[in-house]
Amino acid sequence: MRIEGRGRVDRGTPLRFRFDGREMEGFGGDTLASALMGAGVGVVGRSFKYHRPRGVLTDGSAEPNALVTIGDEPNIRATMQPLFHGLQAVSQNRWPSLGFDLMAVNDLAAPFLGAGFYYKTFMWPQRFWERLYEPMIRRAAGLGALSGKPPEEHYETAFAFCDLLVIGAGPAGLMAALTAAQAGAEVILCDEDAAPGGRLLAEVEDVGGVAGHLWAAGMAERLRGLGVRVMPRTTVTGAYDQGTYGALEQVVPAGVHPGGAPRECFWRIAARRAVLCTGALERPIAFRDNDRPGVMLAGALRAYVNRWGVAPGRRVAVFGNNDDAHRTARDAAAAGLKVVALVDSRPDAVNLAGDVPFMPGWQVTQAIGRGGLRAIRLAGPGGRGRMLEVDGLGVSGGWNPSVHLTSHMGARPVWDPGLAAFVPSEAAVPGMSVAGSARGRMGTAACLRDGAERGVEAAGELGLRASMPDLPEAGDDLLRLRALWAVPGKGRAWVDFQNDVTVKDVRQAASEGYGTVEHMKRYTTQGMATDQGKSSNVVALALLAQATGRDIPGTGTTTFRPPFVPVSIAAMGAGGRGKRFAPERRTTTDALSRAMGAPMIEAGLWYRSAYFPREGETTWRQACDREVRMVRQTVGVCEVSTLGKIAVSGPEAGRFLDLVYTNTMSTLAEGRVRYGLMLREDGHVMDDGTVSRLSAHDFLLTTTTAAAGQVMRHLDFVQQAYAPRMALRLVSVTEHWAQFAVAGPLARGVVDGLLDAPMGDLPFMGCRAVTVGGVGARLFRISFSGELGFEIAVPARYGESLFRALLGRAEALGGGAYGLEALNVLRIEKGFLTHAEMHGRVTAFDLGMHRMIAPGKDCIGKALASRPGLVAEDREMLVGLWVAGDRAPLAGAHLFAEGASPVSENDQGYVTSACWSPTLEQWLALGFLKNGRARQGERLRMVDHLRRLDVACNVAEAVAFDPDGGRMRG
């Protein structure tokens, strides 16, 4: 089916490939779809529900039919798969073969398998569900099959930053990128195709006096010369908050094993501004058996003729409701195909295709043929009818602007009656504008002009001065159309080709009460296949509007969600194996600490020093005990950089923190620090930490090491769900600052002597900006040890230098470094909490912190925290435990009354943390005990059957050392 003298493939580079075991030949520049079409293959797949034979429908990423398996990867769109020598592709969703599929029996049962049949059929008898229905459905579900083996190829993730992201390299995108780049902007230009040009690649059209595809190639080279990063084969898949975009780059085609190169790379692109130039997607018209192989979109037929030099048949017809369909008839006739008829449903249409049989006011009512198109049936004015023998049919119901990315943040598109399509709403995505066909500018000249204007606007928003470039001459054909969604008649007319949704299904959904778009979508499965209904959604919405008696804008649209195209899980989670699944996070002092002999402990993916052994110490306990006494008696230095640090800024930051924390933060004075407790929505404790007010509108939150990511996600959620209009910003700055605790009676001298200016009278729970050696730093007077304590933070690159300086001063006073083991003992002595206690099942009441829930304001979790079951006196409450004898208590042990048998029925609580206290020369533990606050002094048994522990202990206050806090406040 090759057309001599047509196409832009390299016929001097023949490529052998296999499809379902048959060897075929294509050429360099082919896609698998064009190569199959060139080899005369009409049936490329089977539909999901009825297993009807299907051919290629589109020429791009919206393809619903031509899905194949290559290697171990299913659902590869043949329209997007570059051809290479040795490619082996296998068709899907058929057994035993594509030509003879036994599951096609489903098509005979179609009267019983209409919309919503699964909701009605599998209800009764009830016992059949587990034994028959569910196993049957699971076997039938899915398209393609996974091998179950890990992928041989490797995938990558990458990050990019730019001033302007241009999405789509058609005429509008190329001009937007050129305009901004000439103004000095750093530009990234992404396009899902292997070559720039968009629809110009499929057209016989001049731009600037040269062929459109050559003009586009020259523009791409010009942009590269201006420093623009041009990224072909890269589809922007989603638009997210704060100018972040996801993009999938196909580095190597499926099936190629290139050695070290990745198969795909998933990009996260942060852009200050973006221009969306994704063009438009053609839609079909529904008529009886319009899914037959050989029926395709008219624009796709034109693309295969002009770009790849192939055609679905030698005798073709074109059926449309708009002027663009005429271009397909014209180009097909110019390529030497027999154009049997140009069928235009508009009675007043004028022939724009030249010398081809023209039939205005006629409609195609049926496609005839099963494994391939043989004929079409037509109906015309006055009830006339005709049948034409054809083996290819191009259908065009109009073009839908590709508005998907503009809807990813909740905005709804707007109906344009002139286009009979939805166009983007204004400012749908902050920082993104839309140009060209994506916003309804369908002519090439209009796209060029619109792209340049959007480039000028984007440059101005970036603070750059841009001017309109000289625009090349190009055609500016208008897209005149008269909407036609479905041709009346008997038989099944198909809307969603992949999921086998018909016109009748949509109307049936409306008649059975599923008249909203979201209900219709789920009842029929319209738009829920891998193509997300790109070619079928608008047709289905129009049919639903007709069935419910509403207009299309009143009917609305379904929700467009990312990703725009399917993204393999391997690409999304690239590198997530072994240590890259849970990467090692190292502090700025990691190398120095290891050189000092410190063993490392993993804490929330961070590696922290456990202890710092000295000569003569042979066990960790010896080093730990020495470090605890050192902090209590002189001074110690500990790195605490791993604590989560989140900056919250804005005029309403204080009000937001009131919503997040149980206590009031908006009243916190500048230069002061307050301890805070944070609840989940269900009323249980999520985390604790400190809040520092650095200035009127700037707060710094600290979290526990392990919960930093969880808290950041929670804050993002609260802002979006409960405070979307509050003027504030959240930024995680954990890695930006290296922070060190200096604790002990001599701590002030160590810190004060290091600062460029004395700290003066810094009160307990105070903070201020300071400088160390000319470097800006932050100083906090807070303590996690119970001693006089300070924490000093500097930009991360100065972390090791500061640690060395602090150690030098501490060691001169008889102190030194202390690690996580000593830090744990110090905090247990003081009854301070970590996530050993805040493990997700405890409330503020359990911790004895219920008075921190401010009565005069609301906060997340407050209402549910007051449920009777969460404030009952028999709940397990935080207590301290003093252990008798010389047996070490163990976290995880359970508590029993002294004379009770240690079985689950008698369980009274459990231990969360335990240590030897060198300060008190006593084994201590923290734990939770039923009605614990009322049981001070009671004697219990601490039992761990697994580790053979059975010791006596006494219930005490959680704070074992310096209960009045005089040492840390002094």
pLDDT at residue 233, as a whole number? 96
Contact 59, 33 (CB under 8 A): yes
Angle at 553 between CA 550 and CA 559, to 5 degrees: 110
Query: At residue 96, what are phi and psi to the nearest 5 degrees?
Result: -90, -15
pLDDT tens sequence across 468-524? 999 999 998 778 999 999 999 999 999 999 989 999 999 999 999 998 999 999 889
Angle at 961 between CA 956 and CA 965, to 5 degrees: 115
> Is position 174 within any domain?
yes
Q: How many CB atoms lie within 10 A of CB 157?
A: 17
Cα 893 to Cα 947: distance, rounded to the nearest angstrom: 9
Query: At residue 929, what are phi and psi to the nearest 5 degrees?
Result: -135, 135
Strand order in the sheet with 73-77: 22-28, 10-19, 88-91, 67-70, 73-77
* Beta-carbon contacts of residue 949 (< 8 Å; ≥ 6 apart): 887, 889, 890, 893, 942, 943
> Is position 575 within any domain?
no
- Would you state the structure tokens that stand for residue 836, as one six-digit string? 């050993």
> Is position 637 within any domain?
no
Shared domain for 200 and 262, answered yes or no, is: yes
pLDDT at residue 572, as a whole number? 87
Shared domain for 187 and 99, answered yes or no, is: no
Does the reported pTM lie above 0.85?
no
pLDDT tens sequence across 76-94? 999 999 999 999 999 998 9
Q: Which of the 8 DSSP states describes residue 151?
A: P
Find the CATH number of the domain harbouring 895: 2.40.30.110
Shared domain for 163 and 110, answered yes or no, is: no
Q: For residue 610, how many C-alpha atoms fall within 13 Å in the half-sphere facing its CB?
A: 12
Query: 262 preceded by cis ω (within 30°)?
Result: no
DSSP states along 506-559: HHHHHHTT--SHHHHHHHH-TT-STTTTTTTHHHHHHHHHHHHT--HHHH--PP
Interval 528-541 mean pLDDT:
91
The four Cα atoms 792, 796, 797, 798 give a dihedral, to 10 degrees, of: 10
Does 174 have pLDDT greater than 80? yes
* Beta-carbon contacts of residue 812 (< 8 Å; ≥ 6 apart): none
> Is position 45 within any domain?
yes
3-state secondary structure 319-375: EECECHHHHHHHHHHHCCCEEEEEEECCCCCCCCCCCCCEEECCEEEEEECCCCCCE
Cα 355 to Cα 149: distance, rounded to the nearest angstrom: 57
Residue 53's beta-bridge partner residues? 46
Q: For residue 294, how many C-alpha atoms fall within 13 Å in the half-sphere facing its CB?
A: 25
Helix (H, G, I), strand (E, B) or coil at 438: helix
Angle at 846 between CA 844 and CA 850, to 5 degrees: 35
Shared domain for 167 and 242, answered yes or no, is: yes
Find the CATH number of the domain harbouring 58: 3.10.20.440
Question: 818 or 559: which carries more pLDDT confidence?
Answer: 818
Cα 130 to Cα 183: distance, rounded to the nearest angstrom: 65
- Would you state the structure tokens that stand for residue 605, as one six-digit string? 């993916």
Does 112 have pLDDT greater than 70? no
Shared domain for 274 and 160, answered yes or no, is: yes
Cα 248 to Cα 262: distance, rounded to the nearest angstrom: 12
Q: What is the mean pLDDT of the chain?
A: 94
Query: At residue 154, what are phi and psi to the nearest 5 degrees?
Result: -110, 155
Give the total number of structural domains in the chain: 3
**What is the Rg, in whole angstroms, of the alpha carbon atoms belonging to the chain?**
35
Q: Euclidean distance between the first and final Cα of the chain, in Å?
A: 91
Interval 593-616 mean pLDDT:
95
> Is position 928 within any domain?
yes
Q: Domain of residue 78: give its range.
A: 10-115
Helix (H, G, I), strand (E, B) or coil at 277: coil
End residue of a domain, out of 55, 84, 115? 115
* Beta-carbon contacts of residue 771 (< 8 Å; ≥ 6 apart): 755, 756, 757, 777
Does 576 have pLDDT greater than 90? no
Contact 486, 290 (CB under 8 A): no
Shared domain for 274 and 172, answered yes or no, is: yes
Shared domain for 101 and 200, answered yes or no, is: no
* Beta-carbon contacts of residue 954 (< 8 Å; ≥ 6 apart): 881, 882, 884, 937, 938, 939, 940
Determine which helix (DSSP H) or strand (DSSP E) holds 807, and give its type and residue range: helix 799-812
End residue of a domain, out of 461, 485, 502? 461
pLDDT tens sequence across 437-456? 999 999 999 999 999 999 99
> Is position 75 within any domain?
yes
Least confident of 336-350, 464-478, 665-679: 464-478
Cα 743 to Cα 786: distance, rounded to the nearest angstrom: 8
Cα 377 to Cα 317: distance, rounded to the nearest angstrom: 11
Q: How many CB atoms lie within 10 A of CB 33?
A: 30
Helix (H, G, I), strand (E, B) or coil at 444: helix
* Beta-carbon contacts of residue 822 (< 8 Å; ≥ 6 apart): 611, 624, 627, 628, 631, 636, 638
Cα 512 to Cα 520: distance, rounded to the nearest angstrom: 10
Shared domain for 217 and 82, answered yes or no, is: no
pLDDT tens sequence across 723-755? 999 999 999 999 999 999 999 999 999 999 999
Least confident of 108-122, 389-403, 422-436, 870-884: 108-122
Residue 603's beta-bridge partner residues? 606
- Would you state the structure tokens that stand for residue 524, as one six-digit string? 């029929």
Provide the phi-psi class of 937: left if phi over 0, else alpha when psi is between -120 and 50, else beta.
left
Cα 33 to Cα 57: distance, rounded to the nearest angstrom: 10
pLDDT at residue 461, as a whole number? 96
Helix (H, G, I), strand (E, B) or coil at 242: helix
Does 436 have pLDDT greater than 70? yes
Query: At residue 46, what are phi and psi to the nearest 5 degrees?
Result: -125, 145
pLDDT tens sequence across 224-278? 999 999 999 999 999 998 899 999 999 988 878 767 788 899 999 999 999 999 9
Helix (H, G, I), strand (E, B) or coil at 706: coil
Query: At residue 173, what are phi and psi to the nearest 5 degrees?
Result: -65, -40
Find the CATH number of the domain harbouring 415: 3.50.50.60
Cα 205 to Cα 199: distance, rounded to the nearest angstrom: 10
Q: Is the dihedral of CA 464, 467, 468, 469 positive or negative?
A: negative
Q: How far is CA 604 from CA 585, 591, 599, 707, in A?
A: 9, 19, 16, 8
Label the pairing between strands 234-240 and 244-250: antiparallel
Distance of CA 703 to the CA centre of its chain: 25
Shared domain for 274 and 162, answered yes or no, is: yes
Q: Tell me which residue of 404, 474, 484, 405 sits closest to 442, measured CA to CA.
A: 474
Shared domain for 107 and 161, answered yes or no, is: no
End residue of a domain, out of 461, 482, 504? 461
pLDDT at residue 123, as a whole number? 67
Determine which helix (DSSP H) or strand (DSSP E) holds 178, and give its type and residue range: helix 171-182
Q: Which band of pLDDT confidence, cut at 50, 70 and 90, is reported for residue 103?
A: confident
Contact 672, 766 (CB under 8 A): yes
Contact 789, 602 (CB under 8 A): no
Length of the chain, in residues: 970
Q: Tell me which residue of 237, 221, 287 sits closest to 61, measured CA to CA.
A: 237
Shared domain for 200 and 105, answered yes or no, is: no
> Is position 102 within any domain?
yes
> Is position 447 within any domain?
yes
Interval 637-653 mean pLDDT:
97
Label the pairing between strands 187-190 and 156-167: parallel
Cα 234 to Cα 228: distance, rounded to the nearest angstrom: 15
- State which of 45-49, 94-98, 838-842 shows the largest mean pLDDT: 838-842
Cα 888 to Cα 913: distance, rounded to the nearest angstrom: 11
Shared domain for 162 and 253, answered yes or no, is: yes
Cα 342 to Cα 317: distance, rounded to the nearest angstrom: 6
Cα 840 to Cα 603: distance, rounded to the nearest angstrom: 17
